[in-house]
């Protein structure tokens, strides 16, 4: 969108051309990457802030491009959403994540990011049910992280699909909480279990207002009977502050960077998990 605005407000430059060339290449190559083992999932542990036990992990997509090197999901996911490729990509992520998580000790959960586009274009609940069935992962150990998006044209459909997912027994989290437009109405309108506080509220606390805002999000969520997970926890003082504020779970570089499925399995098999 920002790109389109820029193109309209000033003349077309060589820099614009190279952005477009890269996007065209990424779009074309992403389609092939799916079938060529260039895509994989990393997992970032999520901990219970009181006990510091690992209780789950978020699946994060990685793409090693043969010529361009690692491409960030922050770059290729929006592109895949634009072209609709996110539907096939999202299906692959769900199956792959459930498959790997089925080998983890119970009740460790896997959290999977779901694009709003997947709500619009496919029978998401059927895809999720298939992924659970073919992997053998119990529904209670799958959590879906859902982000608000201006691309969603039919909020009524999102609402209906969320109820279908709820009925399957999977857990639902609102991702990047606090950064969207209508976060507060979610509490009234949408069925979910967990509020995921965006890292911008967790990492950049410079004023007393920042502290009070973070505390207010946690308190509001808890009053609405939701658990909270803070992302972007980078140090012990932040972990301690969040615990004191009543936040349930934490995730961030302080506990662990995103790691390979293999390394996560090693971590989970240690007798005293961090
Ligand atoms: P997100 O869902 O908000 O994921 C959190 C991002 O913050 C991840 O970036 C993670 O590596 C990073 N992060 C985690 N802890 C820390 C920390 O302590 N400090 C800092 N500075 N960063 C931290 P990543 O892996 O680059 O993913 C970027 C975004 O791409 C994700 O943001 C998510 O929106 C999207 N994404 C990634 N994988 C998938 C996927 O499989 N499906 C969909 N639909 N989106 C995905
Ligand atoms: Ca997420
Ligand atoms: Ca976020
Ligand atoms: Ca996100």
Q: Distance (Å, rounded) from C-alpha 86 to C-alpha 94? A: 12
Question: If you search the block for the tokens 């989290």, which residue do you land on?
Answer: 173
**Residues within 5 A (CB) of ion ligand 4:** 147, 175-176
Res. 221: pLDDT tops 70: yes
Percentage above 90 pLDDT, the chain: 74
Q: What is the mean pLDDT of residues 211-217?
A: 94
Res. 258: pLDDT tops 90: yes
3-state helix, strand, coil in the chain (%, to 5): 50, 20, 30
Confidence band, pLDDT 50/70/90 cuts, at residue 266: very high
Res. 274: pLDDT tops 70: no
Res. 111: pLDDT tops 90: yes
Pocket test for ligand 1, best of 30, 60, 124 (most atoms within 8 A of CB): 60
Supply the residue whose CA is at minimum distance from atom 14 of ligand 1.
Answer: 252
User: Which pLDDT score is estimated for 272?
Assistant: 60
Q: Does any ligand 1 atom lie closer than 6 A to the CB of residue 252?
A: yes
How far apart are the CA of 12 and the centre of ligand 4, in A?
Answer: 31
User: Which pLDDT score is estimated for 240?
Assistant: 97
Rounded to 5 degrees, φ, ψ at 110 are -115, 130
Pocket test for ligand 1, best of 70, 71, 73 (most atoms within 8 A of CB): 73
Q: What is the mean pLDDT of residues 165-172?
A: 97
Q: What is the mean pLDDT of residues 141-162?
A: 85
Tokens of 106: 């119970």
Q: What is the mean pLDDT of residues 108-112?
A: 98
**Nearest CA to 93 among 52, 119, 62, 122?**
62
**Cβ atoms within 10 Å, residue 208:** 8
Q: Does any ligand 1 atom lie closer than 6 A to the CB of residue 146?
A: no
Supply the residue whose CA is at minimum distance from atom 11 of ligand 1.
Answer: 258
Q: What is the mean pLDDT of residues 111-133?
A: 94
Rounded to 5 degrees, φ, ψ at 38 are -90, -10
Q: Distance (Å, rounded) from C-alpha 123 to C-alpha 121? A: 7
How far apart are the CA of 11 and the centre of ligand 3, in A?
Answer: 34
Q: What is the pLDDT of residues 7-56, one digit of tens each?
A: 556 677 888 888 888 888 999 999 999 888 899 999 999 999 999 999 99
Q: Distance (Å, rounded) from C-alpha 54 to C-alpha 272? A: 10
Pocket test for ligand 1, best of 44, 113, 118 (most atoms within 8 A of CB): 113
Q: Distance (Å, rounded) from C-alpha 141 to C-alpha 191? A: 17
User: Which pLDDT score is estimated for 217?
Assistant: 95
Res. 5: pLDDT tops 60: no
Q: Kindly identify the ligand whose nearest atom is closest to the C-alpha of 197.
A: 3
| pTM for the predicted model, two decimal places | 0.93
Tokens of 112: 């999977």
Confidence band, pLDDT 50/70/90 cuts, at residue 59: very high
How far apart are the CA of 147 and the centre of ligand 4, in A?
Answer: 6
Pick the residue with more confidence: 81 or 9? 81
Q: Does any ligand 1 atom lie closer than 6 A to the CB of residue 116?
A: no
Confidence band, pLDDT 50/70/90 cuts, at residue 152: low
**Cβ atoms within 10 Å, residue 39:** 19
Res. 73: pLDDT tops 90: yes
Average pLDDT, the chain: 91
Confidence band, pLDDT 50/70/90 cuts, at residue 254: very high
Q: What is the mean pLDDT of residues 218-242?
A: 97
CB 125 within 8 A of CB 153: no
Helix (H, G, I), strand (E, B) or coil at 36: coil
């Amino acid at each position: 969108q920002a790109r389109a605005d820029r193109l309209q407000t000033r003349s077309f430059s060589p820099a614009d051309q190279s952005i477009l060339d890269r996007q065209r290449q990424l779009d074309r190559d992403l389609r092939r990457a799916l079938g060529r083992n260039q895509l994989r999932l990393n997992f970032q542990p999520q901990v219970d802030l009181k006990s510091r036990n690992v209780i789950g992990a978020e699946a994060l997509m990685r793409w090693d491009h043969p010529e361009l090197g690692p491409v960030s999901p922050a770059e290729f996911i929006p592109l895949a959403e634009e072209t609709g490729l996110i539907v096939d990509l999202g299906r692959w992520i769900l199956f792959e994540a459930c498959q790997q998580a089925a080998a983890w000790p119970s009740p460790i959960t896997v959290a999977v990011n779901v694009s709003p586009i997947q709500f619009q274009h496919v029978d998401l609940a059927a895809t999720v049910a298939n992924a659970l069935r073919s992997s053998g992962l119990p529904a209670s150990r799958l959590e879906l992280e859902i982000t608000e998006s201006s691309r969603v044209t039919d909020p009524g459909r999102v609402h209906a699909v969320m109820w279908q997912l709820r009925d399957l027994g999977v857990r639902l989290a609102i991702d990047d909480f606090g950064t969207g437009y209508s976060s507060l109405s979610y509490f009234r309108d949408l069925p979910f279990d967990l509020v995921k506080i965006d890292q911008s509220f967790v990492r950049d606390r410079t004023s007393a207002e920042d502290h009070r805002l973070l505390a207010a999000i946690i308190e509001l969520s808890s009053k609405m009977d939701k658990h909270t997970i803070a992302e972007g926890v980078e140090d012990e003082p932040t972990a301690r502050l969040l615990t004191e504020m009543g936040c349930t779970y934490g995730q961030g570089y302080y506990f662990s960077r995103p790691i390979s499925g293999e390394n996560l399995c090693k971590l989970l098999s240690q007798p005293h998990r961090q």
